[in-house]
């Protein structure tokens, strides 16, 4: 991730150096906090996963071993689960982007005067509690929940055969889509909003219809925003475990659930869990570095 180079909006004149508020004194605390409580902990997990370090810290010679990594890479269970989660996240991200694009298009290009009000209306649910929105769906999708009981009372479905909604892969995808949809419209909106409309007029002057102008001008120019939106959903859903554990049951079980169960169940396996966690971190880190230029925060900052 990268911030727009602050040099752009920054002072031209040099500010006279002074004894107080020097750069090191400004950056010292934030950097130290992240090193001690963010970087070092990850290092500890890495050292722990190869047996260089034992908990609580005991100094002395420990055998470096890749046994836990070997078990992970050669047992098919967790890698298989990982691919299953990748597929699920890919589907969710693609569908959500597909839904969000027309929303963003409407806000950015329809010329509506209340676009910021509507944008706020769209995004506000995203800014409320994540867990409570999952809760809402857990209630809604239950075998005797509002949806099913509504179907019973209208006679569309008999109480003996409720729609199986909860504890399915579908439920996980529905809820994840519900959660991310508002947020995903944002990067697409920003890219469409910054589109130079004269390009569309030029296309029209040159005889392009609306559809052709869309395919050949608007869509290519908004592609970075679309791709950013896709990554903004894909990266967090890949490590998701709260939603699947609440509405996914066994069929919606994801890689994240496997990691958690290594730490929080009756038979803890911290070493194996550390390997699983580091693998996820590696994949996410790789995606972030490779696609860094699409993941700039300015992509979601309006105005």
Q: Kindly indicate which of the ranges 60-68, 88-96, 198-206, 220-228 contains the residues binding another protein, using the contact rule CB under 8 A.
A: 198-206
Least spacing, CB of residue 53 vs another protein, in Å? 7
Q: How many CA atoms lie within 13 A of 97 on its CB side?
A: 21
Q: Which of 16, 59, 61, 64 binds another protein (CB under 8 A)?
A: 16
Q: Is-contact 84 169, C-beta < 8 A? A: no
Q: Which of 244, 274, 294, 299 binds another protein (CB under 8 A)?
A: 274
Site string for another protein, 17-56 (x = CB under 8 A): -x-xx-x--xx-xxx-xx--xx-xxx-xx--x----x-xx
Which residues neighbour 173 within 8 Å (Cβ) at sequence distance 6 or greater? 88, 91, 92, 95
Does residue number 196 form part of the binding site for another protein (CB under 8 A)?
Answer: no
Least spacing, CB of residue 198 vs another protein, in Å? 10
Q: Is the dihedral of CA 154, 156, 159, 164 positive or negative?
A: negative
DSSP output for 58-127: --S------HHHHHHHHSHHHHHHHHHHHHHHHHHHHHHHHHHHHHHHHHHHS--TTHHHHHHHHHGGGG
Going by C-alpha positions, the residue among 62, 64, 81 that lies closest to residue 72 is: 81
Start-to-end CA distance of the chain, whole Å, equals: 20
Going by C-alpha positions, the residue among 119, 58, 73, 95 that lies closest to residue 303 is: 119
Which residues 57-76 are close enough to bind another protein by CB under 8 A?
57
Least spacing, CB of residue 56 vs another protein, in Å? 5
The CA distance from 187 to 173, in Å, is 21
Which residues 95-124 are close enough to bind another protein by CB under 8 A?
99, 102-103, 105-107, 109-111, 118, 120-122, 124
Q: Is-contact 123 185, C-beta < 8 A? A: yes
Q: Kindly indicate which of the ranges 62-70, 76-84, 163-171, 195-203 contains the residues binding another protein, using the contact rule CB under 8 A.
A: 195-203
Q: Kindly indicate which of the ranges 64-72, 127-135, 164-172, 222-230 contains the residues binding another protein, using the contact rule CB under 8 A.
A: 127-135
Which residues 216-245 are close enough to bind another protein by CB under 8 A?
218, 235-236, 238-239, 241-242
Q: Which of 261, 294, 295, 299 binds another protein (CB under 8 A)?
A: 295
Nearer to another protein, 83 or 130 (CB): 130
Does residue number 254 form part of the binding site for another protein (CB under 8 A)?
Answer: no
- Size of interface with another protein, in residues (CB under 8 A): 110
Nearer to another protein, 97 or 278 (CB): 278
Cis, peptide link before residue 42, omega less than 30° from 0? no
Kind and range of the H or E element at 5?
A: none
Which residues 146-175 are close enough to bind another protein by CB under 8 A?
146, 148-150, 152-153
């Amino acid at each position: 991730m990268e911030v727009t180079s602050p040099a752009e909006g920054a002072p031209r004149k040099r500010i006279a150096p002074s004894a107080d508020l020097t750069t090191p004194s400004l950056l010292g605390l934030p950097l130290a906090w992240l090193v001690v409580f963010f970087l070092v902990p990850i290092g500890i997990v890495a050292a722990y996963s190869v047996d260089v370090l034992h908990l609580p810290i005991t100094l002395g010679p420990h055998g470096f071993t890749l046994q836990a990594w070997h078990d992970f890479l050669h047992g098919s269970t967790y890698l298989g689960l990982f691919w299953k989660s990748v597929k699920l996240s890919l589907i969710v991200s693609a569908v959500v982007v597909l839904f969000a694009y027309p929303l963003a298009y409407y806000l950015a290009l329809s010329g509506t005067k209340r676009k910021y009000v509507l944008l706020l209306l769209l995004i506000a649910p995203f800014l409320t509690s994540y867990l409570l929105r999952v809760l809402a769906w857990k209630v809604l999708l239950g075998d005797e929940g509002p949806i099913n009981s509504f179907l019973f009372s209208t006679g569309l479905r008999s109480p003996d055969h409720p729609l199986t909604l909860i504890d399915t892969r579908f439920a996980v995808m529905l809820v994840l889509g519900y959660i991310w949809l508002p947020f995903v419209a944002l990067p697409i909106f920003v890219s469409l909003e910054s589109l130079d409309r004269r390009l569309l007029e030029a296309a029209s002057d040159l005889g392009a219809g609306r559809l052709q102008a869309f395919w050949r001008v608007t869509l290519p120019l908004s592609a970075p925003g679309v791709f950013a939106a896709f990554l903004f959903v894909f990266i967090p859903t890949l490590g998701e475990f709260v939603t699947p554990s609440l509405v996914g049951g066994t069929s919606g079980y994801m890689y994240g659930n496997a990691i958690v169960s290594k730490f929080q169940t009756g038979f803890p396996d911290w070493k194996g869990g550390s390997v699983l966690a580091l693998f996820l971190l590696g994949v996410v880190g790789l995606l972030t570095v490779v696609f860094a230029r699409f993941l700039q925060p300015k992509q979601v900052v309006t105005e």
